[in-house]
Amino acid sequence: RSNNLQGYAPICLGFEDFYKRRLYLRIQDCFGRPISSAPDAWLDVIERNSNDNNKTLKRTSNISRCLNLGSYNYLGFAASDEYCTPRVIESLKKFSPSTCSSRADGGTIMMHNELEKYVANFVGKPAAIVFGMGYVTNSAILPVLISKGGLIISDSLNHSSIVNGARGSGATIRVFQHNTPSHLEEVLREQIAEGQPRTHRPWKKIIVVVEGIYSMEGDLCKLPEIIAICKKYKAYSYLDEAHSIGAVGKTGRGVCELLGVDPADVDILMGTFTKSFGSCGGYIAGSKELIQYLKHTSPAHLYATSMSPPAVQQIISAIKVILGEDGSCRGAQKLAQIRENSNFFRSELQSMGFEVLGDNDSPVMPIMLYNPGKIPAFSRECLKQNVAVVMSAFPATPLLLARARICISASHTKEDLIKGLEVISRVGDLVGIKYFPAQPKEQ
């Protein structure tokens, strides 16, 4: 099994264009399907029928109750929760959905400060700052951290929000091969002479940006090696834990905990609340000086309306459940369940003969289709059999590396997972994407 997708084949523009115009229009119904329920283990999907001629794309309002294998609801907090939901409703009544003001003006409520303390404590940093959107956390904070004269070294498969932030910063950008520490070191060596102090280098500052779990690949960052290289070359490290915080590690503290890295050794920890915590927003955690600096200089803190109070309450409550501060052991159970569910689903898919990307423990598991022409059959057949899957395709992935991205939740029961596997197996046979021989089950 090769999970190595480095060196994506360059594809000429005309070919891309052909696919975008001719193919995408015919498979639009496979993307952005509206839903009409919470994104729990099961959800209601509003079916959109597409016939062959896009001009007569019909929209119907049939609702299918589907097993949800697409949302980032890793710990199951996206649904009604006995601890979180009553508190969120209370905060909505007390504060309304919006503060109608930025943090620097009248938009800071005590809950924002409390959340920042909780987040800092949870991720193991002295301080944290929160923002209303995860995407903005990367795209608006990188430009505050670095500018012209600085160097960003970015993993080749980093998320769009990082790419946006890096470009917006005006710093020079170099890309290293996806999750390949040796190539990161090569790039660093090219840029600076080893052992020189920070003050004697051609760059004002160097930031290496990586993700904890890569959203399109499902693999875990080779963090220990990458942090060692950052230290050796005196570059700052920036880790986006959108998909890993809350989802992996014995107590949910992300890839640092899972891979045995001291959070103190990562300079900047970033994460989002839209996955494991079932809410909205993002955070940056770091030293007190860094967070103070961001509070004084970051436009997203100074000029954007602060995080919605019910969203803040949801995160605080979810963290309390994870830490067991709600007085139950549900948090620990959820963490054990997401791990068990993810590892079971991944190994079953692999033994069926699918090419599944990513690592054990990761709840993100892309099943490779390769040919984008296989997207409609895969997606529509799954939907017909009441399984909702997310298709990841160009431009989010290279053109000929289309995939179905499965996201597993702690709220999936064993029966749910078995149903999902049966449907995916049947559809996989139909579409012809079992690229490996099936492995016999161990007795």
Pick from 68, 237, 272, 397 the residue near ligand PMP by CB under 6 A.
272
Question: Looking at 71, 138, 154, 362, which residue binds ligand PMP (CB under 6 A)?
Answer: 138
Strand order in the sheet with 390-392: 364-370, 402-407, 390-392
- The least distance separating ligand PMP from the CB of residue 330, rounded to whole angstroms, comes to 24
Size of the site for ligand PMP (CB under 6 A): 14
- 39 lies in the binding site for ligand PMP (CB under 6 A): no
Segment 160 to 189, residues that bind ligand PMP, using CB under 6 A: 161
Is the Cβ of residue 242 or residue 382 nearer to ligand PMP in the bound state?
A: 242
> What is the spatial distance between Cα 318 and Cα 78, in angstroms, rounded to a whole number?
10
Alpha carbon distance 177, 341 (integer Å): 30
Q: Is 272 helix (H, G, I), strand (E, B) or coil?
A: strand
Q: What is the phi-psi region of residue 170: left when phi exceeds 0, alpha when psi lies from -120 to 50, beta otherwise?
A: left
CB atoms within 10 A of CB 325: 14
Based on the shown chain and the rule CB under 6 A, indicate whether residue 254 belongs to the binding site for ligand PMP: no
Torsion-angle region of 10 (φ positive above 0: left; ψ -120 to 50: alpha; else: beta): beta
Q: How many CA atoms lie within 13 A of 260 on its CB side?
A: 2
Residue 240 interacts with ligand PMP (CB under 6 A): yes or no: yes
Q: Please, which of residues 340-399 interact with ligand PMP by CB under 6 A? A: none
CB of 216 to ligand PMP, least distance (A): 8
Nearer to ligand PMP, 237 or 274 (CB): 274
78-86, 120-128, 131-139, 172-180 -> range binding ligand PMP (CB under 6 A): 131-139
Which one of 99-107, 236-244, 362-370, 420-428 is the stretch in contact with ligand PMP (CB under 6 A)?
236-244
314 binds ligand PMP (CB under 6 A): no
Comparison of 221 and 427: residue with beta carbon closer to ligand PMP: 221
Q: Which of 202, 181, 207, 179 is nearest to 267 (CA)?
A: 207
Q: Pick the closer one to ligand PMP by CB: 102 or 392.
A: 392
Structure tokens at 221: 């960052």
Residue 116 binds ligand PMP (CB under 6 A): no
Q: Among residues 122 and 233, whose Cβ is nearest to ligand PMP?
A: 122
CB 308 within 8 A of CB 280: yes
C-alpha distances out from residue 324 to 283, 319, 425, Å: 22, 8, 38
Please give the residue ranges that form the binding site for ligand PMP (CB under 6 A).
133-135, 138, 159, 161, 211, 215, 240, 242-243, 272, 274, 282
